Amino acid sequence: MAGAMRWSPKAAGQFEQICSYIASDSPHYARLFARKVNALIKTIPQFPKSGRVVPEFNNENLRERIFQNYRIVYRVKPGVIEIVAITHGAALLQLP
């Protein structure tokens, strides 16, 4: 089981952009979306291998959880789980 959680700058920026986009229509739903994504992310350290392996990369340590239409991609490393991307499911996945 990995310990600490860390967000890559790219993932943090993507999350902020998604929330801003949702807020342009509904600030309420943007806050709700942000709370639910954060709640999901907080569960990852308990069962880091429960997310599916990202099919584009086929790397056992690169996994994702799906929330609504979004992919929350994370990397499992010794002692840390890094959120590396949050992207719409229809978007091409590019990782740093």
In a domain? residue 42: yes
Q: CA 10 to CA 16: how far, in whole Å? A: 10
Q: CA 12 to CA 20: how far, in whole Å? A: 12
User: Over the chain, what is the mean pLDDT?
Assistant: 92
**Which pTM was predicted?**
0.91
pLDDT at residue 83 greater than cutoff 70: yes
φ and ψ at 70, to 5 degrees? -115, 145
CATH of the domain at 73: 3.30.2310.20
User: How many folded domains does the chain comprise?
Assistant: 1
Residues 51-77: tens digit of each pLDDT = 999 998 989 999 999 999 999 999 999
Q: CA 42 to CA 25: how far, in whole Å? A: 27
